[in-house]
Structure 1
């Protein structure tokens, strides 16, 4: 067989995918730009990259046993899009460590050995059952990542899954335009690549006074949709920030229908007392596995999903940020507990409130109104 018709290497891994997205990083990526890539991917589905990272949207909200095959090819392989439901391409540089990292929010990243170099990368998925909550934590979709040396060929157009009875989800306009061609031009440094995709929106946050907030995506969430709330949290003393984080985690667990579960209540008690979280919450993956075994109702206390705006009217800024459509609330709530235990009070406050807001989804304005009342923040 001609060596050009088969991959140089092939590795099979299992990725715990959550929040309907995963990211490829060749060692030059920066978490600070993930939000910008997410916004770009939502504006031009299903993926967006800057040469250092590639973020891919998944039709399923989650698959904690997502099978992924990573292939390295000597040149562009033959197209086989008719065998896949979603396909998209991007560019990615792998640094001298020779490691491709596949990661998803709140779950452990997976590393795959890949030779250093600049690649075109194609990401293909199939086996989808629904856009949004797929009905289980292991819906069975599988993915393939093919990489070959970048040859300057214009990337092929994306292919989206046309779900029977639903179609293809609409793109969400991006608040910050980005130019991938400019950011990934030949010879560009990693620093220049990342800077080209960073959000340039003015902010009232003094990052010199709070350098720990530079990499906190949740801060950007609130700085975009509720800047007064973001400023109020920054101005709080550390004890109040910690109390807000604990309060938001409990509210998220209550709304998700988790707080009354016997295996959960000891963890909430430990959180309120600033104690070490007990098993299974001593490890995020163990907690997710226990949640999967419980098979709890996806709607929690929020009831069946109802869009956060009436037909023809406009969503609130916070609903635009946090209403992701039908979700499994218990899974969205779970990361709030771990974020609330972050040793940095200001980071814990922003991250936990962000997870709680995503859990409330279409009801997020109710949560944020309660936050303002609880912590005496003027509307």
Structure 2
């Protein structure tokens, strides 16, 4: 069938990719579900889809000039996997709007490509990788291709991950054992749960499953779920790491939320060694007094370009990368730090904080800026949260 496949359209795009991930939305139903699906993507690298959105994990921490093409085919095209370093396939339903959208956290601009309504099988392929994690620059040069065709009776083919010399491939991160949905027969009060990894099946009451799911949700939140923070990528992590701080944030009035956002941005910049740079200090001053940010802070792209040039020069040929391989225990740890992303380029993460702090919605500004500062502090997250409790008089 592949020999008869016809390419119906091809579109090019450039994506601002950060935090090692980008999203492909096929329908509006995918909005707001990114955080939960990201956990599943981390457990089934390099991508995951629920049918309305595809979460794609990139080996690179970032690429602020990531070139990609989107191709629509009449049927499955001829395979050329040998030309790519990472390949994954997912199902995606395109809604009546007749388009798909691309995005990458922490809130880059959506890029829309025209794709007719329908159910598709999507192949996402990437190449040009230099390292897992920080790639040595903000424009490492990796390129991607997205091919789509009507799903029909096609099956998803196994994924291909980049086998980095001297490192290998990243290990899937464990997630809590999924709680199966109850049978749709509302009269049934007992169901059978198939065992996994050699464990026997178990016969349980639906009420017990609901109780298990509720308890797991409480563990993830460090208490009862907080609806005010559910829409934020870092909301659940902040609550689990410092529940009193999260509870204080949702009670703050508008002026205090804005002060928290500005404070978090300054903390991130100071920790990353950015605050006292000649081109950064005027931007922080402008943020505090409500003035428009001066250049190069006109937008994220120009700010990152300036940082990139200052950190690495006009080119990256002389950038030396140190690849450190460690064997670690990847089993879930109750005191694990979700903000410690390991070997990252800290100034690149921190730079986003000033843009987060200026979001129009005060709660969004506060939570996103605090989340960016938390990733900037990484292993020192307790220091940041302790400072916040003192700054905002949250001590017992």
Range of TM-score over shorter length: 0.7 to 0.9
Asked if 1:88 is matched to 2:67, the reply is: no
Change (3 A) 1:261 1:292: same
Determine the C-alpha separation between the residues in 1 that align with 2:371 and 2:115: 34
Kept in 2: contact 1:305–1:326 (CA 8 A): no
311-320 or 47-56, which deviates more: 311-320
Q: Deviations over 1:203-241 (max 9, x none)?
A: 64664xx5xx55223322323433332112112333322
Superposition TM-score, scaled by structure 2 size: 0.80
> What root-mean-square deviation, in Å, do the aligned CA atoms of Structure 1 and Structure 2 show?
3.2
Residue 252, structure 1, aligned to residue 253, structure 2: no
CA distance in 2, matches of 1:351, 1:153: 40
**Residue 130 of structure 2 corresponds to which residue in structure 1?**
129
Shift of 1:320: 3.2
Contact 2:265/2:354 (8 A) holds in 1: yes
CA–CA distance in 1 between the matches of 2:281 and 2:267?
A: 13
The match for 1:52 is: 52
2:280 aligns with: 264
Q: Which residue of 2 aligns with 1:192?
A: none
Contact 1:28 1:93 in 2 (8 A): no
CA contact (8 A) 2:89 2:157 kept: yes
Query: What is the Cα deviation at residue 76 of structure 1?
Result: 1.3
Q: Which residue of 2 aligns with 1:147?
A: 148
Counterpart of 2:232 in structure 1 is 216
Structure label with greater radius of gyration: 2
Query: Where does residue 345 of structure 1 map in the other structure?
Result: 362
Relative to structure 1, is the Cα distance of residues 377 and 317 closer, same or farther in structure 2, using a 3 angstrom cutoff? farther
The answer (yes or no) to whether the contact 1:271–1:277 under 8 Å persists in 2 is yes
CA-to-partner distance for each residue in 1:251-301, whole Å, 9 max, x for gaps? Answer: 10111121111111111112222333233323222222222222269xxxx
Ranges in structure 1 where 5+ consecutive residues have no aligned partner: 183-197, 298-303
Please report the TM-score for the alignment, with normalisation by the length of structure 1. 0.83
Checking the alignment, whether the CA contact within 8 Å between 2:124 and 2:146 is kept in structure 1 is: yes
Instruction: Tell me if the contact between 2:174 and 2:330 (Cα under 8 Å) persists in the aligned partners.
Output: no
> Which of 241, 245, 250 is matched with 1:225 structurally?
241
- Provide closer, same or farther for how the CA distance between residues 326 and 38 of structure 1 changes in structure 2, counting only shifts above 3 A: same
Name structure 2 gaps, 5 residues minimum. 184-212, 314-321
Matched residue SS, 1:241 = helix
Shift in alpha-carbon separation, 1:79–1:312, aligned structure 2, 3 A: closer
